[in-house]
Amino acid sequence: MLFPRITSKKEKKEQMQKYARRFFAEKLRAHGFVSYQNEDLSWYRVVNGEVLQSVFLFTAFRMDPLLPFIGFGVTPLFIEAPLPQDVYIQGGLGNDELMTIVCMDPPRHQVAEDIWVQSTWSDECGAEKLDEEVFPVLDRIHTISDVYDFHKSRYLKMAIRNQEAGLGDTVQVSQYFVDMAIFLNDKEMYPYCQKRIEQMMEWVPRGKYWTKRDAERTQQRYHAVVNGEREAYLRELENRKVRYVKELDKKLGIRI
């Protein structure tokens, strides 16, 4: 069977929407998620007024039929998850605080004659992954501490693997994780955070996308981690949360 080349982002979005609406949308709505502008590709819910949970359906790589992925994220409201996520992600795929990626198991097949998407050979065509790998994680994360522990455990496991492989203490945490560590004042992880901040400070003079405000925030992070002066940066995180809460209301109708 010959498959048409799906080249434009618009076509990719339309086919992924057909796939999402036929197999995923009902499950996500029943679980309390709201889709961005009813597009049924980027989904969100807020737990306890402090944790954003997100589920994204997207595709990557140049393949026909399209190869779908599920991404799910858990973040405090002071970290701005994308509203919405791109339907087509180019380049390499990797896990971070904004998105943990779930792949579709082989063997795969075109899910329907009118949907140019290939997915797991099962009755739910990949949607069972929500029940198996996504909802069980999200349903046990209710607080910022839960969010932080989820991400911290990933980095600590990575550190153990690196040491066992003889790579030494080479774990690099993300900027998002640094912000959470500062918020919770986790001194155990501050050495990792300090290395990340110092790397960011090296980038500032060379980064054409860095603004004066970006440099100021990086300095605030440094003082919080190295000198214990957290107050200024905690105010920054609170201001960011206020702005993001307004975006959730405006774009999703989620009021907190």
Does residue 214 carry a pLDDT above 60? yes
- Angle, CA of 32, 82 and 245, to the nearest 5°: 65
Q: Residue 42 pairs with which residues in a beta bridge?
A: 56
State the pLDDT at residue 165: 84
Among 138, 160, 179, the domain boundary falls at: 138
Tell me if 15 is assigned to some domain. Answer: yes
Rg of the chain over CA atoms, in angstroms? Answer: 20
- Please give the C-alpha separations between residue 200 and each of 21, 206, 217, 222, in angstroms, as whole numbers: 41, 10, 11, 10
Sign of CA dihedral 82, 85, 90, 95: positive
Domain-located, residue 1: no
Question: Which of helix, strand or coil describes residue 22?
Answer: helix
pTM for this structure? 0.92
Looking at 138, 172, 202, the residue that finishes a domain is 138
Tell me how crowded residue 192 is: count the other CB atoms within 10 A of its CB. Answer: 22
In terms of domains, do 214 and 151 share one?
Answer: yes
Q: Tens digits of per-residue pLDDT, 162-196?
A: 888 888 777 899 999 999 999 999 999 999 999 99
> For residues 184 and 145, what is the distance between their CA atoms, to the nearest angstrom?
8
Q: How far apart are CA 123 and CA 112, in angstroms?
A: 11
**Quick one: pLDDT band at residue 255, thresholds 50, 70, 90?**
very high
- pLDDT score for 52: 98
Specify the amino acid at residue 36. Y
Q: Which is higher by pLDDT, 238 or 62?
A: 238
Angle between helices 175-184 and 212-227 (to 10 degrees): 50
Q: What pLDDT band is residue 206 in, cutting at 50, 70 and 90?
A: low
In a domain, 104, yes or no: yes
Q: In which domain, by residue range, is 116 found?
A: 9-138
Query: What is the mean predicted confidence (pLDDT) over 18-32?
Result: 98
Q: Residue 134 burial by CB count (10 A; 0-12/13-18/19+): exposed, middle or buried? A: buried
How many structural domains does the chain have? 2
